[in-house]
């Protein structure tokens, strides 16, 4: 990741916190950073539409504050912790905050909390996406191998070439690799190495390679 001067100008922050000294200190710091701030309290079932980051009073928070289920927040959450009672910490963690601030809030902390929260949230999103792809891949792993084995046998090619053929077909048909594999296994796609045409008898290895 390249280093950039963190700049939060024009970002929208929603502060879910009663308006007291701590809230005021957060708002003041945010305004110094050019962030557009909205304070909301009391609040319920918020959707956070157009909001880039949420500040959440951990002392008073409850699940019905949000329209999403715990852990599925659409923007990074910065928890503002006062009480260190285990129950409050547990509830806070269930909402997977990307950073936190400890009360009392002074004149520092918000800048680094924002930097850390945006960083962690982006990382979390990236990891969730990677995990989803890996899960999908492992789920269809057996199917893909079976399809590759069919092509290897049918065209007398190796596994790399078989997978390449399947990828080409998946791009051409705009289907996932798993879907193409399923077509092969079900005998619904029996075209040859050169493309979607049926392989001719006696087609050589060289021919197959030239198409790759």
Partner 1 sequence: MVAMSTHRATVPVGVIFSVTGSYGTVGQEMLNGALLALEEVNEGAEYGFTFEPTLCNPGGDITAYRTHCEDVLRNRSVRHILGCYTSSSRKEVIPAIEKFDALLWYPSHYEGFESSDNVIYTGASPNQHIVPLLRYALRERGTRVYCVGSNYIWAWENNRILREIVQACGGAVLAEKYLPVGSTDLQHFIAEIRALRPDFIFNTLIGESSYAFYRAYAQAADGIIGPGRIPVTSCSLSEPELISIGPEACGGHIASSVYFQSIDRASNRGFVERYRARFGATKVTSADAEASYVAVILLARAIRKAGSTEIDQIKKAVYGCRFEAPQGPVRVDPENNHSFLTPALGVSRPDGQFDIIWRSGDPVKPDPYLVWFDVNGFAEETGLPRPNGSRRDHLKVVPQ
- Contact footprint for partner 1 (CB under 8 A): 3-5, 7-9, 29, 31-34, 106-108, 111
Specify the residue, 33 or 211, whose C-beta has the smaller distance to partner 1: 33
Q: What is Dmax (Cα atoms) for the chain?
A: 83
Least separation in angstroms between CB 29 and partner 1: 8
Is the Cβ–Cβ distance between 82 and 58 less than 8 Å? yes
- Give the C-alpha separation, 179 to 169, whole Å: 10
- Indicate the residue among 115 and 176 with the shorter CB distance to partner 1: 115
Backbone φ, ψ for residue 157 (5° rounding): -120, 165
Residue with smaller CB distance to partner 1, 114 or 162: 114
Pick from 68, 29, 28: which is nearest to 51 by CA?
68
CB of 135 to partner 1, least distance (A): 38
Question: Which segments of 103-205 are extended strands (E)?
Answer: none
Q: Which is nearer to partner 1, 67 or 115 (CB)?
A: 115
Q: Minimum Å distance from CB 5 to partner 1?
A: 6
**Taking the complex as a whole, how short is the minimal distance between the CB of residue 98 and partner 1, in angstroms?**
20
What contacts 212, CB < 8 A, 6 or more positions away? Answer: 161, 164, 165, 193
């Amino acid at each position: 990741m390249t280093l950039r001067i963190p700049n939060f100008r024009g970002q929208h922050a929603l502060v879910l916190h009663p308006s007291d000294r701590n809230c005021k200190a957060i708002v003041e710091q945010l305004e110094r950073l050019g962030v557009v701030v909205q304070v909301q309290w009391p609040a319920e079932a918020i959707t956070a539409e157009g909001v880039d980051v949420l500040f959440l009073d951990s002392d008073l928070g409850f699940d019905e504050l949000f329209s999403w289920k715990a852990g599925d927040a659409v923007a990074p959450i910065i928890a503002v912790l006062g009480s260190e009672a285990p129950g409050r910490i547990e509830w806070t963690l269930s909402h997977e905050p990307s950073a936190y601030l400890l009360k009392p809030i002074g004149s520092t902390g918000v800048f680094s909390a924002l930097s850390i929260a945006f960083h962690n949230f982006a990382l979390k999103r990236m990891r969730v996406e990677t995990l989803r792809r890996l899960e999908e891949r492992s789920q269809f792993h057996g199917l893909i191998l079976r399809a590759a084995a069919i092509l290897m046998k049918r065209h007398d090619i190796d596994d790399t070439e078989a997978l390449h053929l399947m990828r080409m077909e998946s791009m051409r048909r705009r289907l996932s690799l798993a879907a193409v594999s399923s077509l092969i296994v079900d005998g619904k796609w029996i075209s040859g190495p050169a493309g979607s045409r049926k392989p001719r008898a006696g087609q050589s290895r060289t021919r197959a390679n030239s198409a790759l």
